[in-house]
Amino acid sequence: MLGSLTKGADLTSMIVSASLLKPYSSLQKLGTDMMSRSNYLPEIVACKDPLERSLMVAKFFISGFHPDTFDGKKPFNPILGEQCHHVFNHGEEFGKSYYFSEQVSHHPPIFAAHVVNDKIGVKATLTGKTKVIFGGNFIDVKFPGHKEIYFKEHDELYTIETPFLCVRGVMGIGKKGIERSGQLIVRCEKNWICNKGTLQASRLSRFVGYVERCRWPHQAGYEGEREEEEGIVENLRWVLDINHQCHGCKEWRERGVL
């Protein structure tokens, strides 16, 4: 079936046998992956330093990224109007986080999701279009769209761009697996903070990147001519391990940055 496809073909509308489908939809998987570390949300709110807080936001959004094996099956496509709801209890002090998502368009496939915890003042909104592109012996799965999260305690709004999925070995050549590829970018306009990171090839649970303190597009010095006095204030390297902790914060304290 895949052998008859050409590179660059869109697999979104491809019809496959039920034997090649997992017993859940991609909408369900999106929710369980994203909220797998919902306990990070109270920790982000409690964090007092904006630089460290921005790294914790990055960690929350990639915490569901784990190297997976490819068994030749995929989640089935959500039907129009399909909804997925989750509730995560953080105890009496931090309340409950509610996750709601819905498939709002079938062709093209578009989802919308919302996360809210009124007790700690957290709101997140996500919208995305599913793009599945055939590349020969691999398939790229991308979710272009908008992701943002707001923390009332700090009056901070973060926008996030996450890496995409790459399914390798679909033609039976080489090692099979599901990896993440592309950049992780977290921005907070209020603090002029921009985190950029890429997945470390040798450690598929680790992102390596840097923090820029920079001016935003409507101000001089961002993504254009970067003069030291108007653009980047700090340029700090960090290592973010999904399974453990952020490396870099201790070094920043020693340098007097935090």
Sequence spans of domains, the chain:
2-182
How far apart (Å, rounded) are the C-alpha atoms in residues 251 and 258?
9
Contact 141, 172 (CB under 8 A): no
Kindly state the percentage of the chain with pLDDT values over 70: 72
> Beta strands 177-181 and 164-168: pairing type?
antiparallel
Main-chain phi, psi angles of 152, to 5 degrees = -65, -35
Residue 38 near residue 167, CB atoms below 8 Å: no
Please state, in angstroms and rounded to a whole number, the distance separating the CA atoms of residues 5 and 154: 50
> Please, are residues 74 and 22 in contact by the beta-carbon 8 Å criterion?
yes
Tokens of 105: 């368009």
- Secondary structure E strands in 170-245: 177-181, 183-188, 193-199, 206-213, 235-241
Summarised one tens digit per residue, pLDDT across range 153-194 is 999 999 998 888 788 777 777 777 777 777 888 888 887 777
Please say whether the beta carbons of 246 and 55 come within 8 A. Answer: yes
Mean predicted confidence (pLDDT) in 75-103: 93
Q: Is the pLDDT reported for residue 250 higher than 80?
A: no
* Mean pLDDT (whole number) for 38-57: 89
pLDDT band at 211 (very low <50, low <70, confident <90, very high): low
In terms of pLDDT, which residue wins out, 255 or 28?
28
**What is d(CA 209, CA 197) in angstroms, rounded to the nearest whole number?**
4
**The CATH number of domain 2-182, selected from 2.40.160, 1.20.58, 1.10.287, 1.10.3470:** 2.40.160
